[in-house]
Structure 1
């Protein structure tokens, strides 16, 4: 559920600097969060929703990066411990193949494809 209204931090760090930059606060409010809408350079926007969306995307990117790093560690671990037994080797290679597939999916998510 979306947070309603700007927090004190958002008021101080997003809305106030925006007002000081010459953006015009409108007499309308965002239907999603209740924050005042602003106009700058002919564009009407909600600074709070834009900030929250940016934060959400950055958080998601950090999470994806962490997962990708853990997958690479596991892939390296498997590559460095290949067994001599053919059945075990096949299991290792299947696991490595799955990890590579997951890494490819994460790369696509990062690229927005």
Structure 2
């Protein structure tokens, strides 16, 4: 993983420094960003910011999948073959939603 981008420096690191957090002389082993200490907690603000971004993106995708699942459920066909296809698609959508929820729980 690469070090902080200009956007991350501007949005994450600079406000943290202005808030009184202490920049340490150690760096994150994952991204290379300086580690910070605030209220007795040592952390990498860049990795935390990136994890938050991933969670927000996953939530957005989950919302789209739930909406599509709802649309499919409201318009089930009468033809058994078409119904089977539709249910298969719905099952895949549910699997994806569960995958995103597991990923969200692990970050």
* Alignment TM-score, normalising by the size of structure 1: 0.74
The number of aligned residues is 104
Ranges in structure 2 where 5+ consecutive residues have no aligned partner: none
Q: CA deviation at 1:99?
A: 2.4
Residue 58 of structure 1 aligns with which residue?
Answer: 56
Superposed CA RMSD in Å reads 2.6
Q: CA deviation at 1:92?
A: 2.1
Greater CA radius of gyration, 1 or 2?
1
Ranges in structure 1 where 5+ consecutive residues have no aligned partner: none
Q: Given the superposition, is the C-alpha separation of residues 36 and 110 from structure 1 closer, same or farther in structure 2, using an over 3 Å criterion? A: same
Q: Given the superposition, is the C-alpha separation of residues 102 and 13 from structure 1 closer, same or farther in structure 2, using an over 3 Å criterion? A: closer
Q: CA deviation at 1:24?
A: 0.3
Q: CA deviation at 1:103?
A: 3.6
Q: Would you say the 8 A contact 2:24–2:35 is kept in 1? A: yes
Residue 38 of structure 1 aligns with which residue?
Answer: 36
Whether 1:77 aligns to 2:75 is yes
Residue 8 of structure 1 aligns with which residue?
Answer: 6
Bigger relative contact order, structure 1 or 2, given CA contacts below 8 A and separation 6+? 2
Whether 1:21 aligns to 2:19 is yes
